[in-house]
Amino acid sequence: RPLEVYQYLEPLYNDYRKVRVRTVEGGFQLSHVDELVDLMLSSDYMFDIALPRLPDRRAMETTGQLDARQSVLDEEFDEAALEAEAGDAARQAAQLEKEIAEDGPRRRSISPDGRDRERREEREREKWRLRKGSGRR
């Protein structure tokens, strides 16, 4: 039975409509549906009616009767965090592009031990051999 109460009332936490509540003095007070739901789940009396005693929600979660309560704000917070991360990544990428543009085109460094020169000379010799060999035929 407490499970049914929580399952029925908790979706109303996302209902922010205004409602008129009659006070004990006979006047009216403006309230919201989510505030009334919170009062129903946390107090013993409401509207001069004794409410049934409900076990604590955390106790029902630990026993596995209820899943952890998901707030609508959690989803919005997650979306905002993802947008912030995307913005940070875009700023970092723009900064890297700016740094690369400032450095100018990169040139290949010359090897200190002359390996590039040796390779170039070897290629020239090979080309010369190929030209010389094709002229014999």
Is the pTM higher than 0.85? The answer reads no
Instruction: Evaluate whether residue 64 is within a structural domain.
Output: yes
Q: How far apart are CA 35 and CA 93, in angstroms?
A: 46
Q: How far apart are CA 76 and CA 86, in angstroms?
A: 15
Q: Is residue 93 located within the same domain as residue 75? A: yes
Instruction: Evaluate whether residue 132 is within a structural domain.
Output: no
Instruction: Evaluate whether residue 87 is within a structural domain.
Output: yes
pLDDT value at position 106?
60
Q: Is residue 62 located within the same domain as residue 7? A: yes
Domain count, the chain: 2
pLDDT value at position 108?
61
Q: Is residue 59 located within the same domain as residue 6? A: yes
Q: Is residue 48 located within the same domain as residue 78? A: no
Instruction: Evaluate whether residue 113 is within a structural domain.
Output: no
- For residues 67 and 61, the answer to whether their CB atoms sit within 8 Å is yes
Instruction: Evaluate whether residue 135 is within a structural domain.
Output: no
Q: Is residue 47 located within the same domain as residue 60? A: yes
Tokens 């979660």 belong to 61
Instruction: Evaluate whether residue 27 is within a structural domain.
Output: yes
Q: Is residue 16 located within the same domain as residue 56? A: yes
pLDDT value at position 111?
61
pLDDT value at position 77?
72
Which pLDDT tens digits describe the chain residue by residue (137 residues)? 777 777 777 777 777 889 898 888 889 989 888 888 888 888 888 787 888 788 777 777 778 777 766 666 667 777 777 788 888 888 888 888 887 777 666 666 666 666 777 888 888 888 888 887 765 54
Q: How far apart are CA 10 and CA 21, in angstroms?
A: 20
Q: Which run of H or of E encompasses 78?
A: helix 72-103
Range of the domain at 11: 2-69
